[in-house]
Amino acid sequence: MKALITLLILLILSAINAPAQEQQPVPYTLADRDRLIKVENEISSVRNEMNSLRNEMNSLRNEMNSLRNEMNARLESIDKQFEYQQKQIDDLKTLFYWGFGIIITLIVFMLGYMIWDRRTALKPALVQAEEAKDKTINLIVALREYAKSHPDLAEILKTYGLL
């Protein structure tokens, strides 16, 4: 019984598979062949167009890369110019610092020299003034002594408030 059921199942399965393995003839006409040739030609033209587009894209990529390199070179030159200008500004700052330092030093030196010169120039004048004061006091004392014996001189000295 088991063998019969197994045989029956095998027969059913082989009957189901048999139509799948059969090949039915495909009708292939001249119109189908012409269509296939047209499709192949169109696929070929599409491939050619895609290849030309790919070539154009590659050339555009190359051009973009060259432009990028050119822009980078220009930016580097601009950066160098900025660095050079910054160095010049730093040099000018240093020059101004030195210039102002020298000018301030000269002004302080000139003030010191003027004060020293005034003191040294005034010293002889003060000595002469002191000597003249001493001589004037001595002269007034001498005139007072002489005015004791001469009344007309005493009158003149009283007029000027020296007696």
Please give the DSSP secondary-structure letter assigned to residue 25. Answer: P
pLDDT at 161 over 60: yes
As for how many domains the chain has, the answer is: 1
Residue-wise pLDDT for 44-99, tens only, equals: 999 999 999 999 999 999 999 999 999 999 999 999 999 999 999 999 999 999 99
For residue 104, what are the domain limits? 42-159
Question: Does the residue 28 lie in any domain?
Answer: no
State the Cα–Cα distance between residues 65 and 101, nearest whole angstrom. 53
**61 lies in a domain?**
yes
Among 137, 161, 157, smallest CA distance to 148 is for 157
DSSP 8-state secondary structure symbol assigned to residue 78: H
Residue 14 lies in a domain: no
CB count, 10 Å around CB of 30? Answer: 7
How far is Cα 51 from Cα 49, in angstroms, rounded to an integer? 5
Predicted TM-score (pTM) of the model is 0.42
